[in-house]
């Protein structure tokens, strides 16, 4: 593992931050002692079990739902008074729709829940669900974005659309003078890139266990979640109960990746049923259900036009971005999350003076989308990086040089969308990655391999990863927005984080956080941050999270935010608590608080060498409060709140591949990363995040694809059909770390959770295109499966997706 970073000077005290400590979370999980939702259900032998009955049609009218008398079944007719899920943005181009907990009257995608059964065991529930008869009058379905706003297309929702039919978000930006600059450019490059639907496919599918306390009337939901507090808010709103009547707990979570941050209809139904029957009820999702109904992502098509000078400077960029967002709006971030991110962040780390973009979210009769690791950024980066490679080829400019010419180098940099890029190392990461990959020497290896009938390719991908952004960023998605608009109960603006830090009378520390880790190692990294301030070891800190009864309201973990925002709040709280400890120690040892150092579990007076144990100070506070010299509270507790605008991590990925031209198989021979995530709190955890992200990026590039047939039925519903990469397909990953400290993050850390997934697909697509250059074809659609690669070689045409034919208006009844 290669690291490029400045070492601490000898005079600086050693800190916990920066050490590759083993994760405090791991021993229990590795020994099989973790607690997942299925474990909670297994420990409750008397609980009932639920199985959902789902629509077999993509679009249609529910005619009837019937079941034998010995089957306990609930339908939408039973959920009287239960409000639908409703996620809203205040934008004139935004279309808000209701998501019913169970479909009533109309179904809008295959897998939509129309009923659920309750039985004594999982097996009995599954059998009972099979005995429920659902009659649906099938209607024509909208199965692609192109079909959705074509003439005569059916409407997915019978609502008023401000623009094109089925267009639910329609964002636009155009900078002043764009047309003149674009029309006057020396050279214009036009490309179209697209990506197939994906599933986050967490190892643990969705699951819930709802318990009802007859004594108090309170409910407790254990569920596999990323946002427990927001889930509680959403369920309480739907059921019309006070939030205090519902406790939500996310125990150990077997992968989230964004798909578990969204409020699930099934969780609302589970809590409702538990309260209705006054019993404990569990639901464990099957893998087939997970593929059918547990949120999809990134089915997008971008048309990109870049206006260049003859030397390779990008002077203007135009984009028409279309995101298929499925049948319903995800809560709380809405179905604007993909198109609006793409619009705001398309230019990435590049200098673009003039910009014109239209970005649309289009409803279809398919499973709804939700954020998945990176959200739209893998497609944004694919678009920009393919654009630069094509431009380099057409203009005769070196691929590294054209990027150096266009990467941002002066900070802060204001992008044409208004985003401000803080201090980063775009130029430096490209140089470091190119040196590590020996780009110049690769050409000799490539030519030699071709003489042997082997086709090697090298691909570059540069990107900026927006991380750790709080309410200012989310509020900007509303247009117009402000206090009056934000006061609407339907509008949710995520962002801030709040922590409560407490030291008990023995000197032990409890950190309660609103963030909700699910594999990021947050218990370890936050303990490292806190202990640097308090002079303790990480084992002295216990982090409490993911329990709405025990933690302050927070926004969970998503969008590479937890270390930046929850870490920032933890630092603020630790600094406040440390200041009180220094004041109390100064009273004991003499001198001033600024004369006191906290280290090794003691408070040391710097000039005399005297010290007192931190546990002694803590005991005095709680047990001898009447003697407190500062007349403070008889407790050691502080609160930290942090709500930043965000900071940009950045990286350069380089992939070296070999393409078998006979089979179309792509093998990744090397994968190199130069990453700048600011201050690395725990380098081992950072490397793990990068490696895991790259694995999912490789999946996006080469393997994973959700496929619907001509009737809107998902045909990739098992791991026989949906192909994630295995260890066999994963290359060794070489990482070089650069460190740029930005004032935009008070800890100095930048988020790193999504970068591997963001950069890898474009690097691989460019590498395959480079390998296939002798055949005159390139990759513009992902995944680049062996069949598609082989067909591109044989046909001599670029690898593009073949669009599904749009049915003629005569064949459809317009609803």
3-state SS track over 61-129: EEEEEECCCCCEEEEHHHCCCCCCEECECCCCCCCCCEECCCCCCEECCCCCEEEEEEECCHHHHHHHH
pTM (predicted TM-score): 0.95
Instruction: Tell me the pairing of strands 187-195 and 299-308.
Output: antiparallel
Mean pLDDT of 483-506: 79
Identify how many contiguous H helices and E strands the chain contains and give both numbers: 21, 31
DSSP letter at 506 equals T
Residue 197 — φ and ψ, nearest 5°?
-65, 145
Q: What is the dihedral of CA 532, 536, 538, 539, to 10 degrees?
A: 180
For residue 138, what are the β-bridge partners?
60
- Does residue 637 contact residue 501 with C-beta atoms inside 8 Å? yes
Report CA Rg, the chain.
28
pLDDT tens-place string over residues 67-98: 999 999 999 999 999 999 999 999 999 999 99
| CA–CA distance, 249 with 550 (Å, rounded to integer) | 9
- Residue 477's pLDDT band, with cuts at 50, 70 and 90, is confident
Residue 812 has pLDDT above 70, yes or no: no
Q: Are 603 and 620 in contact (CB under 8 A)?
A: no
The predicted structure's pLDDT at residue 479: 53
CB-neighbour burial class of residue 277 (10 A; exposed 0-12, middle 13-18, buried 19+)? middle
What is the rounded average pLDDT of the residues 494-510?
A: 96
Helices (H), 184-310: 228-239, 265-277, 287-293
Report the percent of the chain where pLDDT is more than 90.
Answer: 91
**Bridge pairing between strands 541-544 and 602-605:** unpaired
Say how far apart CA 72 and CA 50 lie, in whole Å: 10
User: For 281, left (φ over 0), alpha (ψ -120 to 50), or beta?
Assistant: beta
Q: Which residues pair with 669 in a beta bridge?
A: none
Q: Give the per-residue pLDDT at 814.
A: 33
Mean pLDDT, rounded, of the chain? 94
What pLDDT, on the 0 to 100 scale, is given for residue 633? Answer: 82
Q: Beta strand 733-738 with 455-467: parallel, antiparallel or unpaired?
A: unpaired
pLDDT 10s digits, 416-426: 999 999 999 99
Question: CA-to-CA distance for 206 and 231, rounded, in angstroms?
Answer: 14
Nearest to 600 by CA among 104, 98, 14: 14
Give the pLDDT score at 293: 98
Separation CA 590–CA 608 (nearest Å):
10
Q: Which residues of 74-88 are buried (b: 16+ CB within 10 A; e: fewer)?
A: bbbeebeebebbbbb
Please give the helix or strand (H or E) that residue 435 lies within, else none.
helix 426-437
Report whether 230 contacts 202 (CB < 8 A). no
pLDDT at 595 over 60: yes
The closest of 342, 424, 431 to 383, measured between CA atoms, is 342
Across-strand partners of 458?
656
Residues 140-194 pLDDT 10s: 999 999 999 888 999 999 999 999 999 999 999 999 999 999 999 999 999 999 9
For position 6, what pLDDT does the model report?
Answer: 37
pLDDT tens, residue by residue, 709-747: 999 999 999 999 999 999 999 999 999 999 999 999 999
Backbone angles phi, psi at 39, to 5 degrees: -65, -40
Instruction: Give the mean model confidence (pLDDT) for residues 336-356.
Output: 97
Q: How far apart are CA 369 and CA 342, in angstroms?
A: 15
Three-class DSSP category at 334: coil
Q: What is the dihedral sign for C-alpha 792, 798, 799, 801? A: negative
pLDDT tens for 214-267 read 999 999 999 999 999 999 999 999 999 999 999 999 999 999 999 999 999 999
Single out the residue of 493, 544, 554, 471 nearest to residue 229, CA to CA: 554
- Mean pLDDT calculated for residue range 740-765: 97
> Is it the case that residue 105 has pLDDT exceeding 90?
yes
Direct distance between the N- and C-terminal alpha carbons of the chain, in angstroms, rounded to an integer: 59
Q: Is the pLDDT of residue 490 over 90?
A: no
How far apart are alpha carbons 237 and 124 in whole angstroms?
32
Average pLDDT (18-38) is: 96
| Residue of 535, 560, 555 whose CA lies nearest to 545 | 555
What value, to the nearest 5°, has the Cα angle with vertex 572 and ends 569 and 574?
105
Residues 535, 551: Cα–Cα separation, whole Å: 24
* Dihedral over Cα of 79, 222, 202, 260: its sign: positive
- What is the DSSP secondary structure assignment for residue 256, as one 8-state letter? -
Decide: 270 and 50 in contact? Cβ < 8 Å.
yes
5 has pLDDT over 70: no
């Amino acid at each position: 593992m290669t690291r490029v970073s400045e070492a601490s000077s000898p005079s600086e005290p050693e800190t916990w931050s920066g050490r590759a400590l083993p994760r405090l979370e791991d021993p229990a999980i590795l020994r099989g002692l973790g607690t997942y939702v299925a474990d909670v259900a297994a420990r409750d032998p008397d609980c009932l079990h639920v199985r959902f009955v789902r629509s077999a049609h993509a679009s249609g009218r529910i005619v009837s739902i019937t079941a034998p008398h010995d089957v306990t079944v609930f339908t939408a007719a039973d959920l009287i008074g239960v409000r639908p899920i409703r996620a809203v943005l205040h934008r004139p181009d935004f279309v808000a729709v209701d998501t019913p907990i169970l479909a009533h009257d109309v179904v809008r995608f295959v897998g939509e829940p129309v009923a659920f059964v309750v039985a004594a065991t999982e097996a009995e529930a599954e059998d009972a669900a099979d005995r429920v008869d659902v009659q649906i009058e099938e209607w024509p379905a909208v199965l692609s974005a192109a079909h959705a706003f074509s003439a005569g297309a059916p409407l997915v929702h019978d609502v008023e659309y401000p623009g094109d039919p089925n267009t639910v978000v329609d964002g636009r930006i155009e900078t002043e003078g764009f047309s003149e600059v674009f029309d006057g450019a020396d050279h214009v490059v036009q490309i179209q890139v697209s990506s197939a639907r994906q599933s986050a496919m967490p190892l643990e599918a969705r699951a819930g266990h709802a318990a009802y306390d007859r004594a108090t009337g309170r409910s407790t939901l254990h569920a596999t979640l990323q946002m427990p507090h927001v889930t509680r808010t959403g369920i309480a709103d739907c059921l019309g109960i006070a939030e205090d009547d519902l406790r939500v707990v996310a125990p150990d979570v077997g992968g989230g990746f964004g798909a578990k941050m969204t409020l699930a209809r099934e969780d609302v139904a589970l809590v409702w049923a538990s309260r209705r029957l006054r019993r404990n009820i569990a639901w464990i999702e099957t893998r087939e259900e997970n593929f059918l109904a547990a949120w999809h992502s990134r089915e997008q098509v971008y048309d990109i036009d870049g206006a260049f000078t003859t030397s390779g400077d990008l002077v203007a960029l135009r984009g028409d971005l279309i995101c298929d967002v499925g049948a319903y709006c995800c809560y709380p971030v809405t179905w604007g999350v993909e198109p609006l991110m793409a619009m705001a962040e398309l230019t990435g780390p590049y200098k673009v003076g003039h910009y014109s973009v239209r970005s649309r979210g289009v409803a279809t009769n398919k499973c709804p989308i939700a954020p998945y690791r990176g959200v739209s950024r893998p497609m944004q980066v694919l678009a920009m990086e393919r654009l630069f490679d094509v431009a380099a080829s057409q203009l005769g400019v070196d691929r590294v040089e054209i990027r150096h010419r266009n990467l941002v180098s002066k900070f802060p940099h204001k992008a044409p969308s208004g985003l401000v890029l803080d201090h980063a190392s775009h130029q430096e990461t490209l140089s470091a990655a190119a040196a590590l990959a020996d780009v110049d020497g690769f050409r000799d290896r490539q030519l030699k391999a071709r003489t042997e009938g082997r086709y090697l390719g090298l691909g570059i991908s540069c990107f900026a990863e927006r991380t750790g952004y709080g309410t200012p960023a989310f509020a900007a998605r509303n247009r117009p927005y402000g206090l009056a608009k934000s006061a609407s109960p339907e509008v949710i603006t995520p962002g801030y984080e709040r922590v409560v830090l407490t030291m008990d009378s023995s000197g032990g520390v409890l950190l309660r956080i609103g963030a909700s880790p699910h594999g990021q190692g947050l218990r370890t990294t936050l303990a490292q941050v806190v202990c640097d301030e308090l002079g303790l070891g990480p084992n002295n800190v216990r982090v409490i999270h993911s329990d709405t009864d025990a933690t302050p309201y927070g926004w969970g973990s998503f969008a590479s935010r937890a270390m930046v925002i929850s870490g920032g709040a933890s630092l603020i709280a630790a600094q406040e608590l440390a200041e009180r400890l220094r004041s109390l120690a100064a009273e004991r040892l003499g001198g001033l608080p600024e004369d006191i150092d906290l280290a090794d579990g003691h408070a040391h007076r710097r000039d005399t060498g005297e010290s007192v144990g931190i546990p002694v100070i803590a005991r005095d506070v709680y047990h001898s409060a009447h003697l407190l010299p500062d007349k403070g509270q008889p407790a050691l507790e502080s609160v930290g709140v942090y709500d930043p605008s965000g900071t940009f991590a950045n990286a350069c990925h380089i992939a070296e591949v070999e393409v078998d031209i006979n089979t179309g198989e792509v093998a990744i021979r090397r994968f190199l990363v130069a990453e700048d995530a600011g201050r690395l709190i725990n380098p081992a955890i950072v490397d793990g995040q990068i490696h895991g992200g790259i694995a999912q990026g490789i999946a996006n590039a080469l393997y994973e694809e959700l496929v619907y047939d001509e009737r809107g039925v998902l045909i990739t519903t098992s791991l026989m059909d949906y192909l994630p990469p295995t260890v066999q397909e994963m290359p060794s990953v070489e990482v070089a770390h650069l460190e740029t400290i930005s004032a935009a993050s008070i800890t100095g850390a930048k988020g790193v959770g999504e970068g591997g997934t963001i950069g890898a697909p474009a690097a691989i697509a460019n590498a395959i295109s480079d390998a296939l250059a002798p055949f005159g074809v390139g990759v513009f659609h992902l995944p680049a499966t062996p069949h598609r690669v082989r067909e591109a070689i044989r046909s001599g045409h670029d690898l593009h997706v073949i669009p599904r034919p749009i049915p003629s208006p005569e064949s459809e009844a317009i609803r």
